Amino acid sequence: MISPRERERYERFRHEPSRVCYLTTRRLIREVMSSIGAKELDYWRFRTGDKGRPFLKNATPAMSNVDFNIAHSRELVVVAVTRSGRVGVDLEPAQREVDHEAVARRFFSDVEREDLEKLEETRRHRRFLELWVLKEAWLKADGRGISAGLHRVVFRFDAEGHPHLKELPDDDPQRWEVELHQINGDHLLGLAWHG
């Protein structure tokens, strides 16, 4: 069911887990599109924009406003879809090892770094990953990717731990919705959308 272009990409993967993930992703997105677009699985063709964002190459008139985004880890594949507007999703293992202080210094806003420093040490790593998946989700929805500036996409958490988008590069944060979820107990999922 995959296109010749997708087969070429599949054949470039050297490790079997990467090949399986790629095929699983291709199958899942086709199943989702077929469930809302009433076409066979092999109908759908996809392309990526200059920043790597996927889109439907052959959208039917009924699917012209559909937007989707994909995220995956070694264990999970997630597809987010909206019938209007834009959507972005990111997924990270909750135990991912990363020097969160160094990354936050480079890519987070002053406010986000200050909020991180106020947390207990045991809580900082998790909050860093929560911020990361939310930022990535918005950047993927926006379509510019990291060129929009990770430090310019600013989140704050309320007293109940719910995330809120506070600042954006040349966009109104009020027009966006964001959510944070824990999936399977060991992954964090960030979702951003408008429309």
Residue 158: predicted pLDDT: 93
Residue 150: predicted pLDDT: 83
The pair of three-digit structure tokens given for residue 41, joined into one six-digit string: 């699985």
Secondary structure of residue 35 in the 3-state scheme: helix
Residue 89: predicted pLDDT: 96
Residue 21: predicted pLDDT: 87
Over residues 165-180, mean pLDDT:
93
Distance CA 43, CA 45 (A): 7
Question: Bridge partners of 189?
Answer: 91, 181
The answer to whether 137 and 88 have CB atoms below 8 angstroms apart is yes
Distance CA 8, CA 4 (A): 6
CB atoms within 10 A of CB 39: 16
Residue 180: predicted pLDDT: 96
Give the pTM: 0.89
In whole numbers, what is the pLDDT of the chain averaged over residues? 90
* Domains of the chain (ranges, CATH numbers): 1-64 (3.90.470.20), 90-194 (3.90.470.20)
Over residues 10-29, mean pLDDT:
88
Residue 94: predicted pLDDT: 86
Confidence band, pLDDT 50/70/90 cuts, at residue 51: confident
Residue 10: predicted pLDDT: 85
Confidence band, pLDDT 50/70/90 cuts, at residue 9: confident
Confidence band, pLDDT 50/70/90 cuts, at residue 145: confident
